[in-house]
Amino acid sequence: MSTINFIYLSHEDVMKSGGLDMLETIKDVEKVLIMRYQGECIVPHKVVLRKGTQEEESITGRINALPGYLGGDTDIGGLKWVASFVNNPQEHKLPRSSSLIILNSFKTGMPLAIMDGTIISAMRTGAVAGIACKYLAKEGAKTLGMVGAGVIGRTVLMAIKAIVDVQEVEVYAIHREHKIKFAREMQEELGISIKVVDSAEQALSGKDIIVTATPAKQPYVKASWVAEGSLYLHMSGYECEYDVVTQSDKIVVDNWEDVKSRNSQTPAIMFHNGKLSDSDLHADIAEILVGKKPGRESQDERIFFNPVGMGIQDLIVAHRIYGTAKDRNIGQNLTLWEQPLWV
């Protein structure tokens, strides 16, 4: 049979097909991290399309291509094509980030699905933070401090709440209206009390879990703010001073080579300036998931977690959503061709 069809899933279709299910997303991402460790995935380096330098992309924007292959019982290839344009919300009333995901059969190479990846990208980023909390947060962690009230802050909070019985949340963001809106919406969604505070120091100091999710180009988190026994989820940019990393008892990443290659987060900048070496890292998170290395070993450890993200995380979530959409007859069936011109 020569006719080739694939499913197209819109933003709304992705939501209908389980795109906002954080617990399932955490399961997906944990599974794919283990698959990668066991050699069942292919993870090429991301391709970055930008005008100008890396420093200028905060103004000019960028589009990244993240290809990958998932083996095991999945056997698909795919691509996440993700754009990040910082000025979109203010100038165009659009999300800062948007993406498309393509899934292909690895038996024929034919497309299975093309879908909006904007929610998937945000959810899988949050899910990694949830996995880190599962293995690295101290027992009985109750307090959470956050800097950043954007989309990633939203999904990170969703993931933490799914794993940890957080009782107190304090959030800070530069724009007051953003943090107030964030607190109001997330309180309603998650059923927890969120306090808006007036500084990053107030938000982060003394907390069991701290999160920074900002596109910072200059560090603002100081070592004295990071309490003993805390887990620091360093999600985005150059957000903390070197001393925050060096005082940590354990430094954990998701893909150290990609962290170094991206060179936008504090540990990577330290590495390229000769202030951090490969041997200073405790583990890749997957080594902890499979039991090769320990996670948290005492209530007093300061643990620093730095994810960079991988396209295979998006692909495994997209594959679940694709299966759900097929089962529920969600989305549009589109035809690539009825009969190829040449074979």
34-49 pLDDT, tens per residue? Answer: 999 999 999 998 888 9
DSSP element (H, E) containing 3: none
- Provide mean pLDDT across the span 160-183: 93
Q: Is the pLDDT of residue 55 over 80?
A: no
**Between residues 236 and 98, the one the model is more confident about:** 98
Question: Residue 337 pairs with which residues in a beta bridge?
Answer: 4
φ, ψ dihedrals at 192, nearest 5°: -125, 155
Mean pLDDT of the chain: 93
Tokens of 116: 């909006």
Distances (CA, A) of 162 to 192, 225, 289: 12, 25, 18
Q: Is the pLDDT of residue 324 over 90?
A: yes
Determine the pLDDT at residue 343: 85
* Residue 97's pLDDT band (cuts 50, 70, 90): confident
Tokens of 10: 């819109």
* Residue 329's pLDDT band (cuts 50, 70, 90): very high
Question: Residue 70 pairs with which residues in a beta bridge?
Answer: 41, 76
Determine the pLDDT at residue 87: 84
- Provide mean pLDDT across the span 144-163: 95
Q: Which domains are assigned to the chain?
A: 4-120+311-337 (3.30.1780.10), 126-306 (3.40.50.720)
Report the catalytic residues: 80
Mean pLDDT is highest, among 49-53, 151-155, 185-189, 328-332, for: 328-332
Distances (CA, A) of 128 to 3, 292, 337: 39, 19, 38
* Residue 263's pLDDT band (cuts 50, 70, 90): confident
Determine the pLDDT at residue 56: 74
- Provide mean pLDDT across the span 52-73: 85
* Residue 169's pLDDT band (cuts 50, 70, 90): very high
* Residue 309's pLDDT band (cuts 50, 70, 90): confident
* Residue 245's pLDDT band (cuts 50, 70, 90): very high
Determine the pLDDT at residue 1: 59
Determine the pLDDT at residue 236: 84
Q: Within a 10 A sphere around the Cβ of 191, how many other Cβ atoms?
A: 8
Determine the pLDDT at residue 141: 96
- Provide mean pLDDT across the span 313-336: 98
Query: In this structure, which amino acid lies at residue 155?
Result: T
Q: Is the pLDDT of residue 18 over 90?
A: yes
DSSP string, 152-213: HHHHHHHHHHHHS---EEEEE-SSHHHHHHHHHHHHHHH---EEE-S-HHHHHTT-SEEEE-
Q: Within a 10 A sphere around the Cβ of 270, how many other Cβ atoms?
A: 17
Q: Give the percent of the chain with pLDDT over 70.
A: 99
